[in-house]
């Protein structure tokens, strides 16, 4: 008879293998919404202490980052980063479009609510620490003081890949929510700043 402990181990192993199969682009990002719908249901069914956020993210990067570095070496640095940025933008725009398809309110206040809801969802609920510095109908601004992904990418000497994958798509994401909005990143830990400032504004 299978015990709960062995079943949880099996579920975690299957989740990791399904989520980070060869060729998959892994991007939890600051929004943390790149997990497929099927895998997200599996994540939600796991005990919350079964797999710590950093363990999951470190596993993902440990598997996919060497693949990305080999692709970069084969394509050339700038063509690879350009492709990664465009792919991340398209992916994030698709995710935001899907998540917000039934929302009538397209204010920055509502966008901020969507962002904070995503940040509270396992497995990214402890991935960053942040504070909301401004929130209104036309502006949503947040200050991120800790970010596991920024730290891991820097540890693995892959800041530029990290920025392209995790940070670059913020403007595309908010434009998918409201075409009249833009994102201003005045500070970013992935490129060496002590914290991140992401400001979303309606024109």
**pTM of the predicted model over 0.95:** no
CB 158 within 8 A of CB 69: yes
Which residues contact residue 29 at a Cβ distance below 8 angstroms, ignoring those fewer than 6 apart? 88, 92, 149, 165, 166, 167, 169
What pLDDT shows up at residue 102? 95
Range with the lowest mean pLDDT among 24-28, 39-43, 195-199? Answer: 24-28
For the purposes of burial, counting CB atoms within 10 Å of the CB of 60, is it exposed (0-12), middle (13-18) or buried (19 or more)? buried
Q: Is 3.90.550.10 the CATH number for 4-202? A: no
Domain boundaries, the chain: 4-202
What pLDDT shows up at residue 19? 40
Which residues contact residue 41 at a Cβ distance below 8 angstroms, ignoring those fewer than 6 apart? none
Residue range 13-40: average pLDDT?
Answer: 40
pLDDT-derived band at 23, boundaries 50, 70, 90:
very low
What pLDDT shows up at residue 120? 81
Task: Assess whether pLDDT exceeds 80 at residue 11.
Answer: no
Rg (CA), the chain: 17
The token duo for 157 is 């000497």
The token duo for 199 is 């400001």
């Amino acid at each position: 008879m299978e015990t709960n402990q062995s079943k949880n181990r099996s579920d975690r192993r299957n989740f990791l293998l399904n989520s980070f199969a060869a060729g998959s682009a892994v991007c939890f990002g600051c929004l943390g919404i790149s997990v497929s719908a099927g895998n997200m249901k599996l994540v939600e069914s796991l005990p919350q202490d079964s797999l710590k956020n950093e363990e999951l993210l470190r596993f993902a990067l440990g598997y996919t980052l060497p693949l990305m570095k080999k692709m970069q070496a084969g394509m050339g640095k700038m063509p690879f980063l350009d492709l990664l940025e465009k792919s991340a933008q398209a992916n994030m725009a698709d995710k935001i479009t899907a998540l917000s398809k039934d929302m009538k309110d397209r204010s920055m206040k509502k966008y901020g609510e969507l962002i904070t809801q995503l940040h509270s969802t396992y497995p990214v609920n402890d991935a960053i620490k942040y504070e909301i510095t401004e929130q209104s109908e036309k502006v949503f601004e947040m200050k991120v003081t800790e970010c596991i992904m920024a730290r891991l990418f820097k540890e693995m000497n892959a800041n530029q890949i990290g920025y392209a994958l995790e940070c670059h798509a913020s403007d595309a994401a908010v434009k998918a929510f409201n075409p009249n909005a833009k994102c201003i990143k005045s500070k970013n830990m992935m490129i060496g700043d002590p914290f991140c400032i992401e400001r979303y504004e309606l024109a």
